[in-house]
Amino acid sequence: MPRATQLLAVTTVVALAASAYLVVENRSLRRELTARAPTRPLAEALAARPSDPWTTPMRAGTTPRPHGPAPTLPVLKDQREDSRLERRVRRQGEFAAMFGRLDGETAEEYRARVAPMIATGLAIPRARVEEMRKEAEAAAHITPEQSKKLDTAFDKVYDNVLDYTNKAIADGTLSPYERNVSGWLEYAGGLGTMLNETNGQVGQVLSADQVQAMTASGFEWGEYLGLEAPWEKLTPPPFAPGKH
């Protein structure tokens, strides 16, 4: 059971990172589409283009006349695409700019800027696990009173998770400024242990048969708590080197 919960903790961390990555990637794609968008309507652009001596007569139903050599496509300059590593470095910089502290940014300003992005990225996964919990509780015949007791017990779990995460952010284990996979795994292992300990609290509210029924339905408390934790309330990270 601990190994399974630790695995879910790793997947939760990956899901949070993936949500943040998708926010960065979505903004990058929007910028590219905006840059490629035509400056005027297509119909207007087609009407304003000069007539083509090679195709206009054919469209008009007349016999084309020779007008010299056929046109050729322009030779494009050699444009080297970024390598996978170069794209990774660029996106890491975009991630740092989005989730790191801006120069002179206060904690309140940081939360006002970043919290909505986190909430948006987790909105769909949270809705899914909420629905899964409802289905699992119905299958286990859990009463509304029991469900409320569980929510009360989880408030303390969330406080512990936030304290643990804030410490990891403060000491650099989790940092928006660098790619630290070993730090992520170290953090995920500790998070998995914390989430696994909640099974004991669940057992104090639910009967053994109810716990078994929820597990048999495919529901897992570690996954639920990992997504439902109020990550929007995390303490902002320290400033990047050279900023204050």
Let me know if residue 65 belongs to a domain.
Answer: no
Let me know if residue 72 belongs to a domain.
Answer: no
Let me know if residue 185 belongs to a domain.
Answer: yes
**Residue ranges of the chain whose pLDDT lies below 70:** 1-80
Q: What is the pLDDT of residue 100?
A: 93
Let me know if residue 241 belongs to a domain.
Answer: no
The total domain count for the chain is 1
* Average pLDDT of the chain, as a whole number: 80
Q: What is the pLDDT of residue 144?
A: 96
Q: What is the pLDDT of residue 59?
A: 52
Let me know if residue 60 belongs to a domain.
Answer: no
Let me know if residue 56 belongs to a domain.
Answer: no
- 240 touches 101 (CB < 8 A): yes
* Residue-number span of the structural domain to which 92 is assigned: 2-24+86-233
pTM of the model: 0.65
Q: What is the pLDDT of residue 194?
A: 85
Let me know if residue 244 belongs to a domain.
Answer: no
Q: What is the pLDDT of residue 21?
A: 47
Q: Give the list of residues 6+ apart from residue 155 with CB closer than 8 angstroms, or none.
A: none
pLDDT per position as a tens digit, 102-140: 999 999 999 999 999 999 999 999 999 999 999 999 999
Let me know if residue 57 belongs to a domain.
Answer: no
In the numeric block, which tokens belong to residue 203? Answer: 């057992």
CA 50 to chain centre: 47
In DSSP terms, 239 is beta-bridged to 101
pLDDT per position as a tens digit, 140-155: 999 999 999 999 999 9
Q: What is the pLDDT of residue 84?
A: 86
DSSP states along the chain: -HHHHHHHHHHHHHHHHHHHHHHHHHHHHHHHHHHHS-SS-HHHHHHHSPP-TTTHHHHHTSPP---SSPP-PPPPP--PPPPHHHHHHHHHHHHHHHHSBPTT--HHHHHHHHHHHHHHHHHHHHHHHHHHHHHHHHHTT--HHHHHHHHHHHHHHHHHHHHHHHHHHHTTSS-TTS--HHHHHHHHHHHHHHHHHHHHHHHHHS-HHHHHHHHHTT--HHHHHHHHS-GGGPPPPPBPTT--
